[in-house]
Structures are given as structure tokens and as C-alpha cells.
Structure 1
Amino acid sequence: DFQMRTITLGSTSITLQLWDTAGQERFRCITEQYYRKADAILVVYDITCSASFTAVREWMDVQHQASFYECSAKTGANMEELMTHMA
């Protein structure tokens, strides 16, 4: 899935291109094409599924500077802060 999000920081507008790619190992070669030239990568997991959290370790090798945000796709909690940080 793909979505554009524009954020205004001071007097500067920044447009983020957000790509939702599959996290399963079988899709890894495809997703690597998406994040090869990315400025930021979000690695997400489901706190109700321990296997989801364990799988995050396989993706962390692409991270050079990592920040942790506890967010909720359901409620939107901390999503604005996360997007601002990425911008």
C-alpha cells in the first residue's frame, strides 16, 4: 500500500511517501527494493503477538539510527509525533 502525508514544520512543508510492504521473510527481496534509497524506515510489530516482535530482529539490520515510538494504528496515539520525527 502507498500513501502520501504532508507535514508542516515551521514554514516548511514536507511530503512523506509512506509505503506499507509485507514483513514476511518471503517478501524480503521485494521490500529491499523499496527501502534501498529511503531516508527513514519504520519497523512495526503487534504487541499482542510475540512472533511479530521476534520477527523485528530480522529487519533491524537495515537500521543505522533507531528511535522507538510506541504508537497505535487503532487509536492514532503518538502517530503525529512519529511523522514529525521522520520529517
Structure 2
Amino acid sequence: MDEDCDFLFKVVLIGDSGVGKSNLLYRFSKDEFYLDSKPTIGVEFAYRSIKVGDKIVKAQIWDTAGQERFRAITSSYYRGALGALLVYDITKKSTFESLKKWLKELREFGDAEMVVVLVGNKSDLLHSREVNLEDGQSLAKLEQVSFMETSAKENLNVEEAFLHLIHRIYEVTSHKSLDAKTTSESLDLKTLQGNKEIICIDEVSATKQPSSCCLH
């Protein structure tokens, strides 16, 4: 845990190569965009600190390679991830059709309670759209995840998508901590009650013993 934050959340960006994952990361972490961005090889990551309530959350965002030849390497990076942005390109239907494969991988390697936000990127290219807004909404509803369309180039909804993900992770983490505390307190109470019962039994035995001796 870094000294300058209260929580450290690992987040992964996943989706086919060329959907704009790296530029989403650059835009959110540095407010930069590169038109000639090259495909990610392996994994890259960046940090950004966010204030959630009175807490400082540092998001550690991992940008994974979308090419098939890197999948054996990057699948291990799901370990410890609390959230994921699942990204497709609204101008390429094939990247939307690949989402089932990515969701399967998420559920195989990721935590069962991982927060997922579905992101349709490149919303600035409406004239080239191949995936309707309604298609993204329907899939998100079916898979019970959040959904947003973004444009890393125009900086549309990028901040909102990441902040929504981080806030949801914070909510899930807070609930888990509260549940763990409640369970711990319940166990402590049962232990105390158990000890009290043992003490009571011992006291009864000690009281009865002299009486038994006196009868003899």
C-alpha cells in the first residue's frame, strides 16, 4: 500500500487489438491522445489517484495486449484485479462479437466479484458506426454490467467511465470490509458466550463438589 493513498485498486483494460485501450489509458492518466498509437506488446500500466468521499484511491490501470499471441502472457494479469473496462470499437462489429470471448476469459481468470464496465469506444466516428448504441445497452443488460460509449480522441465519457468503475469498486470493497467486520464481531461474541458457559459449568461443579463430600 502506497503511503499517499488509502486504497490501491488494480484495474485492467481488455478487448481486441485496435479498439483504443491504450488511448483510453493515456487520456485518463495523462490527458493525452496519440493518433498513431502502436499496438501494445504484453502489458503497460499507469497510475492515477482519485478522491472518493474522504479517501484517496490510487488506480493502477493495466493495458493488456489484444493480440491472440499474447493471451497466455496477459491472462495472469487478471490476478488481483478488482475491475475491468471491457472495450470494443463501435466502427468494427467484429470487436463487439469478440466480447463473449473476453467475458469468458474474465470469468475464468478474474475474481467473481470483479466490477466490469462495457465501453464502446470511438463514438466520434458516428459516420462509420457498425454497432448500434442499443446493441451495447442490450449486452450490458444481459451480462449485468454497466455500459458507456466513449471517445478517447474527443475526450468524451473517458473520465466518467473510469470514475464509475473506481466508485463501484470502492462500494464493493467497502461492503466486503463491513461484512468481514460484522462476521468477526459475531464470532468474537460467540467465543465470549462460549467462555461464559464454560465458566458457569465450572462454578456449578465447584459448588456441588463440597456438598458431595459432606454427604460422605
Shorter-normalised TM-score: what interval? 0.7 to 0.9
Return the index of the structure with the highest Cα Rg: 2
The 1-side partners of 2:162 and 2:50 are apart by: 8
One of 48, 57, 71 as aligned partner of 2:91? 48
Report the Cα distance in structure 2 between the residues aligned to 1:28 and 1:43, rounded to whole angstroms: 15
Q: In structure 1, what residue type is equivalent to 2:164?
A: H
1:18-71 CA-partner distances (Å, limit 9, x unpaired): 111112222222121111220001111111112222222210121555221211
User: Are the equivalent residues in 2 in contact too, given 1:6–1:16 (CA < 8 A)?
Assistant: yes
TM-superposed CA distance for 1:10, in Å, is: 2.1
- 1:24 aligns with 67
Alignment check: 8 A CA contact 1:71 1:78 kept: yes
- Between the aligned partners of 1:57 and 1:9, the Cα distance in structure 2 is 32
SS of the counterpart of 1:41? strand
Inter-partner Cα distance in structure 1 for 2:55 and 2:77: 26
SS of corresponding position for 1:83: helix
Matched, 1:71 2:179: no
- Report the structure, 1 or 2, having the larger helix content: 2
How far does residue 84 in structure 1 lie from its aligned partner after superposition? 1.6
TM-score normalised by structure 1 residue count? 0.84
Question: Which sits farther off after the overlay, 38-47 or 20-29?
Answer: 20-29
RMSD: 1.7
5+ residue gaps in structure 1? none
User: Which structure 2 residue ranges, 5 or more long, are not aligned?
Assistant: 1-43, 116-144, 167-216
Distance 1:31 1:23 in 2: 9
The answer as to whether partners of 1:35 and 1:41 remain within 8 angstroms in 2 is no
Is the counterpart of residue 8 in structure 1 residue 51 in structure 2? yes
Give the count of matched residue pairs.
87
Q: Which runs of 4+ in 1 moved over 6 A?
A: none
Residues 46 and 52, structure 1, Cα contact 8 Å, conserved in 2: yes
| SS in structure 1 at match of 2:59 | strand
